[in-house]
Structure 1
Amino acid sequence: MINLTKQDVKDCFTMRDAIEADKEALAHYSKGQAIVPLRTNIDIATRHGQALFMPGYVEGEKDALGIKIVSVYPDNVQKGLPSVPATMIVMNPETGMVSGMIDGTYLTQLRTGAVQGAATELLSRPDAKIGALIGTGGQAECQLEAMLTVRDLEEVRIFDLDFSRASAFAEEMALKFGVRMVPVETSEACVTDADIITSVTTSKRPTFEARHIKRGAHINGVGAYTKDMCEIPKEIIKDADVVIFDTTDGVMQEAGDFIQPLEEGFVNENQYNGELGQLINGEIKGRQLEDEITIFKTVGSAVLDVVTASKILEAYQKKSKN
């Protein structure tokens, strides 16, 4: 059985590889070729922890099977351990045998950045030059890398509630990617005139105002994953020309910023156009005009984990033979 660390994955699998894997995963999902049960959440009350189990199976040219185990143990910080450790178990779909384990924390960051990258590639204007990133937590670097992988951006504004953290992140990323990174002190400065906006926070209120978004912009909502979280303002959702989800079931169960305006009657279901997999499969349309505002929302799905993990393992094995 193969056990891959974060560095092992980085050595054999690129962001571009992950973007293509996520496209394939969502295309199969939207065709009904995936089995993704609701995740099992076991509350370990005596230890102030939770254990989450996220299985999935995808039937395709190459089947993919596996389960991601994510634990949430806040007290681990005091023990010098990760508070949210994660492991991806890859299984052989022909035999049911476990064929490998992958660092689940990095896998989650990679496939989440990649699904945003896939949406940005399919929905944003090809001539986009200015990016905006709101939030500099653990997901931020992969989100930034994905935007830079699919679009030739000249500048990315970085906003965080902690300006010193935004500045440190911007400095580090400028050195890593060789692109101008501009830390800003307000979300208005971040999103004004931006072509691509990615918000990756756990905020319970919108991270920017709709009136600051220009025509032709593409917006990614990545961070909010509960009914009380809300990154994307309802006004821009109503004004948007195209609104697409990673999985409709997932977003409609978990994403507060899209559930709340629907329940309030501020928007109707017809304003939600469908899934990214449907766009990839040619079943629905995305951006048609340069001045359209497009929105993509992701809450994640085990289908992304199992397909990406399977391809990572395949890439590692191929590299090891050469």
Structure 2
Amino acid sequence: MTRLLNEEIIKKLVTMHDANRIIDQTFQGFGNKTVINPSKVSLDLGETGGYPFHEGFVNAMPAYIGDMDLAGIKWVSGIAGERREAGLPYISAMILLLDPRMGEFISVMEGTYISNLRTGAQTANSLKYLGFKDKVSIGMYGAGEQARFQLEAIADLYEITELRVWNHRRETAEIYANEMKQYVSGETIICNPEEGEKAAQAEILITVTNAQEPILLREWIKPGTVVFPMGSFQEVDDDLILSVDKIIVDHPDQALNRGALKKLHKEGRVTEENIFTTLGQLAIGAVEMPNFQEEIIMCIPIGTGAMDVSIAGHVYKRALEQGLGENYSFINYN
């Protein structure tokens, strides 16, 4: 039997605090090599402007989680085009879980909420591995849904003493700042669309936009700053990428072939040799993060199926314990 779980049920079964704990464990699994995570496979549905002109993509993201003895895959789409015209969110996703001993699919669940949780938790845990302690200041580029999850995840582990918000529409940034004030102990500064440099005056800069042209420039960044380019395209300029002192990623192959590094990697200007280490290695202490007060760091937890499968496994276990969701038989072996 396969357990079916919708978003409403999932929200009852997992919190951001849960997600931060699970993502930490999964990063350690990467470091210990008990997690198997092939690179995502991407199906271009017109994201780059070509046929079939649907202005989107679909990614297949499989993984095996050793400490849970669980396999799974997230199938996630980002579609503009007619989906945007219908007023629907850009991202939609499903997660399938597999019992690797028997090869049976044990659960099918909505994946968008889990995607948002784990993306925020990836950033929050990365800060821990980089050596941040109790308090942080944040410069957030973007004021959409993912910007909300980013801040909530960080606030679960740190006191946010200052938040600077930039968005291409100021009114959207104002709404975001008001909604997120519960997570910020200090001042929130709203930056006008022409004040991108003002938002960069924080120790941690996070870009979560759909921008396909750079919105964050090298000339704005001071030493001691960590930049998290989290968008699917290139939100930071070439000069910044080429001049950072250290690049840290979650998955080298994926990070080089999607997002901020993709273009420069394709040109042969950024390769795996430019990557200082992975978050998994930092998580288990195999690599020590040196003091970077005089350096600029770029950290790219671009997102892996393992993070989705791990959280989905937690949700599935709790659903069984609480009797939530519906069982469905796709095949009758009798």
Tell me the TM-score normalised to structure 1 length. 0.83
Deviation at 1:47, TM superposition (A): 9.4
Report if aligned partners of 2:246, 2:297 keep a CA contact under 8 Å in 1: yes
Matched, 1:89 2:96: yes
**Counterpart-to-counterpart distance in 1, 2:260 and 2:229:** 11
Q: What's the secondary structure of 1:216's corresponding residue?
A: coil
CA-to-partner distance for each residue in 1:128-175, whole Å, 9 max, x for gaps?
Answer: 432111012231111111222222112211110111111111111115
**Counterpart-to-counterpart distance in 1, 2:216 and 2:87:** 35
Q: Closer, same or farther in 2 for the Cα pair 1:47/1:219, shift >3 Å?
A: closer
**Counterpart-to-counterpart distance in 1, 2:131 and 2:196:** 20
Partner of 1:286: 289
Matched, 1:188 2:197: yes
Report if aligned partners of 2:28, 2:283 keep a CA contact under 8 Å in 1: yes
Report if aligned partners of 2:40, 2:254 keep a CA contact under 8 Å in 1: no
Partner of 1:297: 300
Report if aligned partners of 1:50, 1:71 keep a CA contact under 8 Å in 2: yes
Letter in 1 for 2:308: D
More moved, 126-135 vs 164-173: 126-135
Q: What's the secondary structure of 1:154's corresponding residue?
A: strand
Matched, 1:233 2:233: no
Partner of 1:160: 167
Partner of 1:70: 76
**Counterpart-to-counterpart distance in 1, 2:60 and 2:272:** 28
Identity, in percent, stands at 24
Partner of 2:332: none
Q: Closer, same or farther in 2 for the Cα pair 1:2/1:114, shift >3 Å?
A: same
Which of 54, 57, 67 is residue 63 of structure 2 equivalent to? 57
Report if aligned partners of 1:52, 1:70 keep a CA contact under 8 Å in 2: yes
Deviation at 1:195, TM superposition (A): 1.6
Q: Closer, same or farther in 2 for the Cα pair 1:258/1:143, shift >3 Å?
A: same
**Counterpart-to-counterpart distance in 2, 1:39 and 1:21:** 24
Letter in 2 for 1:4: L
Q: Closer, same or farther in 2 for the Cα pair 1:57/1:268, shift >3 Å?
A: closer
Report the count of equivalent residues: 315
**Counterpart-to-counterpart distance in 2, 1:161 and 1:274:** 33
Which of 103, 114, 118 is residue 111 of structure 1 equivalent to? 118
Q: Closer, same or farther in 2 for the Cα pair 1:205/1:124, shift >3 Å?
A: farther
Q: Identify unmatched segments of 5+ residues in structure 2.
A: 325-334
Deviation at 1:282, TM superposition (A): 2.5
Letter in 2 for 1:63: D
Deviation at 1:277, TM superposition (A): 0.9
Letter in 1 for 2:310: V
Q: Identify unmatched segments of 5+ residues in structure 1.
A: none
Partner of 1:25: 26
Deviation at 1:119, TM superposition (A): 0.8
**Counterpart-to-counterpart distance in 2, 1:69 and 1:8:** 19
Greater fraction of residues in strand: 2
Report if aligned partners of 2:20, 2:125 keep a CA contact under 8 Å in 1: yes
Partner of 2:10: 9
Partner of 1:201: 209
Partner of 1:148: 155
Deviation at 1:58, TM superposition (A): 1.5
Partner of 1:253: 257
**Counterpart-to-counterpart distance in 2, 1:234 and 1:72:** 25
Q: Closer, same or farther in 2 for the Cα pair 1:195/1:101, shift >3 Å?
A: same
**Counterpart-to-counterpart distance in 2, 1:278 and 1:142:** 25
More moved, 245-254 vs 195-204: 195-204
Q: What's the secondary structure of 2:216's corresponding residue?
A: coil
Letter in 1 for 2:235: E
CA-to-partner distance for each residue in 1:226-275, whole Å, 9 max, x for gaps?
Answer: xxx3223343434433320110000111234464178364x675442121
Q: What's the secondary structure of 1:283's corresponding residue?
A: coil
Matched, 1:314 2:317: yes
Q: Closer, same or farther in 2 for the Cα pair 1:293/1:318, shift >3 Å?
A: farther
What is the root-mean-square deviation in Å for CA atoms of aligned residues?
Answer: 3.1
Q: What's the secondary structure of 1:146's corresponding residue?
A: helix
**Counterpart-to-counterpart distance in 2, 1:4 and 1:287:** 43
Letter in 1 for 2:75: I
Deviation at 1:285, TM superposition (A): 2.5
Q: What's the secondary structure of 2:235's corresponding residue?
A: coil
Report if aligned partners of 1:26, 1:277 keep a CA contact under 8 Å in 2: yes
Deviation at 1:314, TM superposition (A): 2.0
**Counterpart-to-counterpart distance in 2, 1:176 and 1:279:** 27
